[in-house]
Amino acid sequence: MNSLPIPFIVILAILSLAGVGIYCLLATRNMIRVIIGLQLIVKGVAMAFILGGNMTSNISLGQTMALTVIVADTIVAVIGLAFAVQVRHRMGTLDIKELSTLKR
């Protein structure tokens, strides 16, 4: 195990985070779980940015992109959770299959 290069291990971590996140988005019906899945994907993406910056010797750029992405995703989580609360309050359900029509 010690002969595996570090970038490879990090790439495995990224792929696992992104993969689990995408699977969660594909196979869930609860709105809040959707947001959990999004959070997982974005952690993987931020890690990918940092790793990419390191590998192409553009280190600061990678870190600033990762920062930007984390900020954006946090805001998405805030607004998504606000949505979920309001939807639950008005429509009574958090099931995205039932909510998939716009006019109710």
Partner 1 sequence: MVYVLVAVSILVFAILAITSKRLLVSAIWLAVTSALSALMFYMLGAVQVAVIELSVGAGLVTVLFVFAINISGEEALNLKPIMPKPLAWGLVAIAAALAIYLIISGGGLSFALGNTTEEAPSILWGGRYMDIILQIALIFSGVLGVLGLLSEGKPEVQKEDEE
Partner 2 sequence: MSISLILILLVIGLPWLGALVLRLVSDEHEKAQHILAVVFSALAGAAALFLLKYVSKDTVIKLSAGTVFGDFTFLADGLGVFLTVIATVIGCLAVVFSVDYMHGEHQIGRYYSLVLFFIGAMAGLVLTSNMLLMFFFWEITALCSYALISFNNDDPKAVRGGMKALIITSVGGVGLLLGAMLILLYSSSLDFNTLLANPSILPTGIKALLAFGLLIAAAAKSAQFPFQTWLPDAMEAPSPISALIHAATMVNAGVYLLARFFPAFKDVPYWREAVMVVGVLSALMAAIMALTSNDLKRVLAYSTVSQLGYMVYAIGAGSVFASQFHLFSHSIFKALLFLGAGAVIHSVGTRDMRQMGGVGKKLPLVKWVFIIGSLALAGIPVLNGFWSKEMVLEAGLHAGLNGGLVYYSIMVFVAGLTALYTLRAVWMVFYGEPRSEYHAHPTGLAMKIALIPLAIGAVVSWLLVGRFSLMLGANSLPYHGIEAFGLKELFHEIIALPTLIPLGVIALGILCWVFREKLSGLAKAFNWLRWLAEHSFGFEGINTGIVNATQGAAEGLRVTQTGYLSYNLLAVVGTLVIFFVLLAIGA
Binders of partner 1 in range 40-69 (CB under 8 A): 40, 43, 46-47, 50-51, 53-55, 57, 59-64, 66-68
Helix (H) / strand (E) element for 8: namely: helix 6-26
* The two structure tokens encoding residue 46: 């931020």
Using CB under 8 A as the criterion, what x/- string covers residues 25-54 for binding partner 2? xxx------x--------------------
When asked if residue 100 is in the footprint of partner 2 (CB under 8 A), the reply is yes
User: How many residues does the structure list for the chain?
Assistant: 104
- Give residue 25's region: left, alpha or beta (phi > 0; psi -120 to 50): alpha
Q: Of 72-91, which residues contact partner 1 (CB under 8 A)?
A: 72, 74-75, 77-79, 81-86, 88-90
* The two structure tokens encoding residue 64: 């600033």
When asked if residue 24 is in the footprint of partner 1 (CB under 8 A), the reply is yes
When asked if residue 99 is in the footprint of partner 1 (CB under 8 A), the reply is no
CA distance 13 to 17: 6
